[in-house]
Amino acid sequence: MRDVLYPYRTDPPRDKDDPQAWADHYDKIPIEHRVLNDANLPGTVLRLPAVYGPNDGQHRLFPTLKRIDDKRPFMLLEETCAKWRFCRGYVENVAAGIVLALTNPVAANKIYNISETYTHTTAEWDQKIADATQWSGQIKVLPQSQMPKHLVDDDANWTQNLNTDSTRIRQELGYQEIVPLDEALLRTIAWERENSPKQIDEAQFDYAAEDQAFQQYEN
């Protein structure tokens, strides 16, 4: 559990008209403390994973799926990012966990993680999407020094995994996924294909730069 509050706050703070101004005041930990320390409020804290599925406003599967649908022969991953683990949950499964916590008195004043039992690496997750679409391309892992610039996130710390243990909610509330992973991916892929983002940053799909980086690495 981190002890630094408001991790997205900038110094100086963003202008109030900045679309990202909300980030200066975004933190869940203070409200967790307030709820759990209120003797008159039987609160429950649910820590959710990265939620994917239909109506995902962040379109988490889109970058991978677009390359697949564009019939790319390969996808590139930076080697540290490829090993990074990030807990995820399908939207209907996460909703089922929330309902359990709301309706079971046992959950009062407890903290639960909701996530899938296995935390995939980035490479494993992309491969699951590839398998679901029957994509025959390859996922290529390159050192950061040889990655095209648009696929390098200098602000990310890929050595810090974000995986959680959902044993408690499974044992105490009987939580389990109602939609299996393979079916969850198929439903998400179908929705993504019918609901592409309204704005696509084409610079993030610089295939010429990706081809060049791949050829240089192979040679």
Predicted confidence (pLDDT) per residue in 114-143, tens digit: 999 999 999 999 999 999 999 999 999 999
- Residue 31 included in any domain: no
Mean pLDDT in residue range 68-82: 98
- Residue 82 included in any domain: yes
More reliable by pLDDT, 217 or 85: 85
CATH number at residue 118: 3.40.50.720
> Which residues lie across from 77 on neighbouring strands?
141
> What is the pLDDT confidence band of residue 1, given thresholds at 50, 70 and 90?
low
- Residue 10 included in any domain: no
- Residue 110 included in any domain: yes
- Please give the Cα distance from 147 to 16 (Å, whole number): 36
> What is the number of domains present in the chain?
1
- Residue 165 included in any domain: yes
- Residue 22 included in any domain: no
- Residue 5 included in any domain: no
- Residue 2 included in any domain: no
pTM of the model: 0.90
Give me the percent of the chain exceeding a pLDDT of 90: 84
CA distances from 130 to 7, 87, 212 (A): 34, 19, 22
Residue 81: which domain range?
Answer: 41-218
* Ranges assigned E (strand) in the chain: 45-47, 50-52, 74-78, 88-90, 111-113, 138-142
Determine contact, residues 101/173, Cβ cutoff 8 Å. yes
pLDDT value of position 82: 98
> E strand or H helix at 129, and its extent?
helix 122-133
**Which of these, 204, 198, 215, 187, lies nearest to 57 by C-alpha position?**
198
